[in-house]
Structure 1
Amino acid sequence: MANAIALVRPAAPPQPTHGNTTDPETLRLHGLAENALATALHCLRAVDCNPTRLRLATARAVRAATLLKRASEAANLAGEVQA
């Protein structure tokens, strides 16, 4: 019985998914960017990735980049207000 393998490991500390921000606008934009990226990947990974799906994936990726830029600006503004 000395060779038993532990089936439980210690829990990892929780990792924040949105940094330390609590600004609602930053969180909203972050979520929208994640959704746009997920849609782009979904279109690219489709078995029948035709030109129409490729155009949609490109549009969603561009939308995600715009949302990420806006989220970054919102986070910077929120940081200035808190400082």
Structure 2
Amino acid sequence: MWTEQDNALTRTFKFKSFQTAFSFMTDVAEEAEYQNHHPWWSNEYNVVTFRLRTHDAGNTVTEKDRQLAAAIDKLAEEYKGESVAG
């Protein structure tokens, strides 16, 4: 589940391997380009953490962030990513 804190939506996913996490990130990058809305993220081995906020709206959470979060959730499900506590 996405958590809203410090004017951002945040969520962390864990995958079975680094390769799976990287493939997931590649697909998220394509979706972000399509939506023209790019996340902050970090990756360590099989864990990927996101922070979504809209810079053009004063670094607050907007509908653009919620739409990208929904797309990320769908991709994570396809890659069998597990949500973990941030």
Structure with max Cα Rg = 1
- Which one has a larger percent strand, Structure 1 or Structure 2? 2
Fold equivalence (TM over 0.5): no
Q: Where on the TM-score scale, by shorter chain, does this alignment land: which range?
A: 0.3 to 0.5
Using the size of structure 2 for normalisation, the TM-score is 0.36
